[in-house]
Structure 1
């Protein structure tokens, strides 16, 4: 949906995506090539972004290193994407059509202060972008529809969540009542939904009610009376909740609206061709968790396992219903997965390999389309994952040396212990500097930290610090130590195959 932005803003979003990553410096040549523009345009866009959102970030440039973004510790860059979307004329038109369908072109020209040509251009952009998601927009009058009404509802649910999130509420419905119903459904059916999924369910309920009162119902239901409504008998008690939520709309809902509501909201139970398919997906999900657990030799609680298996089940059912890109402009999973890939390197490698194998086996895009999201959710749902992966890391043996004597070596040792604690096993020189400290034939430590170059030690294993280690010294040591501690267990050597 990035195409709904103006060409210049689309380019700046792409630039922001590249700069807002785990890498430090990025060359202007790489940025220009990636975005397909000149280096001069890159520099102008960097200046625009920094001037426009100086409270959120700083962009530094260096002839030697390139360009890097430094995010403010007090602001979220996500807010920039929200602001960009809210200022887009195309997104504004699309959202307005959702709330007020069946209006002619003249209505939108007047309401949004658009010329006839501007409305025509924006309509073409929206139609083209929606087509990628199997959704259409008619213009005589204006309304959004599709072959599968559930896909339309899911699309708008995803849109509103991305733009408004949990803090705002764009609907003329009682927010508290909608969320209360979401929590009731979660508890009644033991869905094990986390907070973000509760939000998604609440938005889905709101979108469904609004689409229903507008007359857009799901036409193609698989045996809605026989197989589906049998289950909805158990949720009939929630009909009063839905009617209470919809009451402020002051409309008469169409016949069979409640069956339509359930078929839209309970999509995870109605995306299966047969029960055996569902059983197979759950079985494969359980095997996936076991494979990762055994490969890393870490534990997992039963609650975490159930949560992750349910996640895989939901992703599969959701994909069958909406097999398209879920985000509009800001891919939240992409950014969080970048951090996970940095901080949980071995876990990421194992999970990626396991998902790749499962993708081939099931012919489903587990890795291709859902890797970032699964890494994000697994990191949240796998209880104590950070501690478990930390424990499996190698403890580096470090010898501390100083040409200022044993007392100074002890000082350096205390600084290292304070910063790296159980990540390293410290030893300190016991002899005087003027005595031979290290034999080249007896280098038994993983790392030598000193305030001078130790000639008898491989320079790659010798990290030199100032007499009182600087912030840069500590940062360099941290990078080296974290990298050296990543020793893959023998039972996952297949990852390099």
Structure 2
């Protein structure tokens, strides 16, 4: 959907995507090659981003190192993407058509202050982008439709969540009542939704009610869902809740609203072609979790296992219904997974390999399409994953040296122990500085911490600190130690993935 942005803003989004990830420098040559523009344009776009969103980020440039983005600790880069979408004429038109379908071209020209040619151009952009998701937009009058109404509802649910999130609420429906109903459904049918899924359910309910109110009902209903709906007559108990929420709209929902509502809301739990397919997915999910657990020799709680199995089942059912990109401009999973890949290197490698094997086995895009999302969700759902994986990591052997003597070396050692605890194993020089034996460095250490340059060791493993380590000294040490502890074995095949 990035094509709905202007060419210049689309290019700046690509630039932001590349800069908003690694903490290291990126060369302008690399950026220009990937974005397919000149280095001059890259620098101009960097200046634009920094001028426009100075409260959110700072962009540093260096002739030697290149370009890097430093995010503000008080703002989220996510908000920049939201502003970009909200300021796009094409996205504004698409959202307006959702809320007011069946309006003429002249209506939109007048309401959105668009010329006839601008409306035509934006309509073509929207139509082309929607077509990639098996959705269509008619222009006489303007409305969104498709072969599967569920796909349309799911698309708009994803759109509104990305643009408005939990803090804002774009619907003329009572937010509190919508969430109350979502919680009732979650508890009643034991869906075991986490918070993000509960938000998705609430948005789905709002979108479903609005589409039903507009007369867009699901026409094609497969037998498994229909049988479930007909057996689940107690869903009528929610009719009063729905009508209370819809009351401000001054409309009456269709007589068979509950079948349409069920078919739209419960697709991930009951939208299976057959029970054998569902059982197979659950089995494969169980095997996936066991493979990762056994490969890393780490523990997992029963609750975490159930939650991750449920996640895999949910992704599969969701993909069956909507096998397209779920985000408009900002792929939240992509950015969170970058941090996971940096901080959980071995875990990431094992999950990546396991999903690759499962993808080949099932002919389903587990790795190619859902790696980032699965990493993100697993990091959340696998209880104590950070602590468990940290315990797996290599403890760095550290030798502490000081030209002020053993007593000072002991002080440095105590400071390091307090700050890095079980991440390192500490040794201290045995002799006075002025009487060190020549063979003091026969034993090799991962790191030498000293208040002077130690000529007998490679400077790459010698971190020099002040006599009393400064905040910067400790920050540099922490970065070095964490990076060294994350080193991945060259061959991960031994993990039996």
- What TM-score range do you get, normalising by the shorter chain? over 0.9
> Which residue number corresponds to residue 259 of structure 1?
259
> Which residue number corresponds to residue 118 of structure 2?
118
Question: Structure 1 residues 304 and 119 mapped into 2: Cα distance closer, same or farther (>3 Å)?
Answer: same
Alpha-carbon distance in 2 for matches of 1:437, 1:82: 63
> Which residue number corresponds to residue 132 of structure 1?
132
Question: Structure 1 residues 340 and 316 mapped into 2: Cα distance closer, same or farther (>3 Å)?
Answer: same
* Pairing of 1:64-213 with structure 2 (within 5 A): 64-213=64-213
Matched, 1:419 2:408: no
Alpha-carbon distance in 2 for matches of 1:16, 1:475: 26
Matched-pair contact (CA < 8 Å) for 1:337–1:373: yes
Alpha-carbon distance in 1 for matches of 2:3, 2:87: 14
Q: Secondary structure in 2 aligned to 1:443?
A: coil
Question: Structure 1 residues 225 and 163 mapped into 2: Cα distance closer, same or farther (>3 Å)?
Answer: closer
> Which residue number corresponds to residue 314 of structure 1?
314
Q: Secondary structure in 1 aligned to 2:209?
A: helix
> Which residue number corresponds to residue 431 of structure 1?
431
Q: Secondary structure in 1 aligned to 2:300?
A: coil
Between stretches 124-133 and 406-415, larger displacement belongs to: 406-415
> Which residue number corresponds to residue 362 of structure 2?
362
Alpha-carbon distance in 2 for matches of 1:495, 1:293: 10
Matched-pair contact (CA < 8 Å) for 1:295–1:492: no
Alpha-carbon distance in 1 for matches of 2:278, 2:438: 63
Structure 2 alignment gaps of length 5 or more = none
- Cα deviation, 1:106-146, whole Å, max 9, x if unaligned, reads 00000000000000000000001101101000000000011
> Which residue number corresponds to residue 53 of structure 1?
53
Q: Secondary structure in 2 aligned to 1:408?
A: helix
Matched-pair contact (CA < 8 Å) for 2:224–2:273: no
Question: Structure 1 residues 319 and 225 mapped into 2: Cα distance closer, same or farther (>3 Å)?
Answer: closer
Alpha-carbon distance in 2 for matches of 1:225, 1:352: 34
Question: Structure 1 residues 219 and 400 mapped into 2: Cα distance closer, same or farther (>3 Å)?
Answer: same
> Which residue number corresponds to residue 10 of structure 2?
10
Between stretches 438-447 and 354-363, larger displacement belongs to: 438-447
- Cα deviation, 1:422-453, whole Å, max 9, x if unaligned, reads 21111111201122356277314332222334
Question: Structure 1 residues 363 and 373 mapped into 2: Cα distance closer, same or farther (>3 Å)?
Answer: same
Q: What is the CA-CA distance between 1:360 and the residue it aligns to?
A: 0.9
Between stretches 348-357 and 242-251, larger displacement belongs to: 242-251
Between stretches 458-467 and 19-28, larger displacement belongs to: 458-467
Question: Structure 1 residues 459 and 237 mapped into 2: Cα distance closer, same or farther (>3 Å)?
Answer: same
Matched-pair contact (CA < 8 Å) for 1:179–1:202: yes
- Cα deviation, 1:56-93, whole Å, max 9, x if unaligned, reads 11111111111111111111111111111111000000
- Cα deviation, 1:14-37, whole Å, max 9, x if unaligned, reads 111111112321111111111111
Between stretches 414-423 and 40-49, larger displacement belongs to: 414-423
Alpha-carbon distance in 2 for matches of 1:383, 1:490: 28
Matched-pair contact (CA < 8 Å) for 2:447–2:462: yes
Q: What is the CA-CA distance between 1:472 and the residue it aligns to?
A: 4.7
Alpha-carbon distance in 1 for matches of 2:224, 2:370: 30
Normalised by the length of structure 1, the TM-score is 0.95
> Which residue number corresponds to residue 244 of structure 2?
244
Matched-pair contact (CA < 8 Å) for 1:295–1:491: no
Question: Structure 1 residues 279 and 202 mapped into 2: Cα distance closer, same or farther (>3 Å)?
Answer: same
* Pairing of 1:338-487 with structure 2 (within 5 A): 338-437=338-437, 439=439, 442-486=442-486
Matched-pair contact (CA < 8 Å) for 2:224–2:272: no
Alpha-carbon distance in 2 for matches of 1:483, 1:456: 23
Question: Structure 1 residues 312 and 496 mapped into 2: Cα distance closer, same or farther (>3 Å)?
Answer: closer
Between stretches 261-270 and 126-135, larger displacement belongs to: 261-270
Alpha-carbon distance in 2 for matches of 1:441, 1:86: 62
Alpha-carbon distance in 2 for matches of 1:412, 1:325: 52
Question: Structure 1 residues 248 and 438 mapped into 2: Cα distance closer, same or farther (>3 Å)?
Answer: farther
Structure 1 alignment gaps of length 5 or more = none
Matched-pair contact (CA < 8 Å) for 1:443–1:457: no
Alpha-carbon distance in 2 for matches of 1:217, 1:421: 61
Q: What is the CA-CA distance between 1:224 and the residue it aligns to?
A: 7.0
Between stretches 221-230 and 288-297, larger displacement belongs to: 221-230
* Pairing of 1:14-29 with structure 2 (within 5 A): 14-29=14-29
Between stretches 42-51 and 248-257, larger displacement belongs to: 248-257
> Which residue number corresponds to residue 295 of structure 2?
295
